[in-house]
Structure 1
Amino acid sequence: MEGPFDDDCFAIRQAARHVSQLYDRHLANVGLTITQFSLLGRLKRAGPMTMKQLADTMRMQRTTLVRTIQPLRRNGLIASE
């Protein structure tokens, strides 16, 4: 299927990659990834929640969430019970 939709979709994906790379470049200065930054923002807005709630909210698999959170715990940016 060729047409304007293909070009629009590509342009949107390219713009999203560009924005993500921009954030990653600046967040690297403080040792965070874009995903970790998003998690911290979500927790700040929503408050404490279970791993399952956070995974559901972020639309992430729990194993991916655990790998993303480990450095945040280690660096004292979040705590878990």
Structure 2
Amino acid sequence: MGAIELRDKIMQLLNTDNVSYLKEVFDFAQKNKLQHPESFQELPTPIQELLTESVAQADRGELIPHDKVMEDVRKKYNLTK
């Protein structure tokens, strides 16, 4: 079962006015999300390494201001503002 089909089945289960049931489902999902967040560890190693280096660069102040990036892109692709 794919993600879309699974999401649709969950939505069907949630199509109710039963507040206590909805609260139970919400509490379960909230608790589960806190216990199993989409974590950094689940990312592929090369992505983890790139993100770690990016954070280190930012911490060192090695940033390029957005305006400068946009200026360079406009020049490179001959775009107007």
TM over 0.5: no
Larger radius of gyration: 2
TM-score normalised according to structure 2 size: 0.28
| TM value normalised by structure 1 | 0.28
Higher RCO by CA contacts (8 Å cutoff, separation 6 or greater): 1
